[in-house]
Structure 1
Amino acid sequence: MSAARLRAIGEDDFPALLALNNLHAAELSWQTPAQFAALLRQACWTRTAGDGEALLVALDQDADYDNPNFAWLKARFARFIYIDRVVVAQSLQGQGVAGALYRELQTQARAWDHASLVCEINLDPPNPASVAFHRRLGFAQIGQADLANGKRVGYYVCPL
């Protein structure tokens, strides 16, 4: 996929992206329209592709984000870009969209002089495809946590 097909999220994308997010709530977390709008407002980087068929939301260390995963990473890194959620609809899977989203984010994060990208990935319920994808991109697991919602997550970092 060419990076030219990636674009910033616009207001018209909101309904499709909220639906995409909530279709994958087990991996991402369910969002109400108000929660999703607030998340997008505080993000430092958002991208989509197609007709709202891909979503990447990233925040930097200065975000005021009440999230246990963000807090865990913020306690360990002074400066970072946190990938809060990434998902690609089945219609675009296997076309390199996720890799293109990450490459564009890495380029921007370097331009902002960040040293690393960070994220968490579900270990229970397992998300082996996401773990494998992130490992191919150079992410390494640096910790784990059991969350109040019953999930077990792994924390990952990718030096830039």
Structure 2
Amino acid sequence: MDLNDLMFSLYPYAKSLHIMAVLSWMAGLFYLPRLYVYHVEQAEKVQQIIPIFLMMEDKLLRLIMRPAMIVTWVAGLFMVFTPGLVDWSDIWPWTKGASVIAMTGFHQFLMARSRDLAAGQNTLTGRQYRLLNEVPTLLMVIIVVSVVFKF
């Protein structure tokens, strides 16, 4: 069995792993900005709650989101490099790829906000975090439409 045959036979496993990792990563990307909303809005009212929010945010990022993002990328790249699965003359792999890169950038942005919150240097309001919560939704729509319709 050559490498191409091996990759093609492992494709269903990579795809399954990719889907599970994406679901976990997206759950974190939806939830973390919401945690930031509560952190910012409740910190003014209940000072003792800040360490609890910091712990929740840190664990979500380190233990769920980061590993899920890495597995998403590894399984996704495995599928991309499986011969015959992607027609690079189509637009959809490019829109999906750009959206995944943007999603990764958003993840990095959230990590920076987490550091700011931990250092007591937050500059965003609860309303701004609520608006940021829509970013992963928009990117998810682009990714899903790209993959399903394969324009």
TM-score between the two structures when normalised by the length of structure 1: 0.24
**Greater relative CO, 1 or 2 (CA 8 Å, sep 6+):** 2
Bigger CA radius of gyration: 2
Larger fraction in strand: 1
Larger fraction in helix: 2
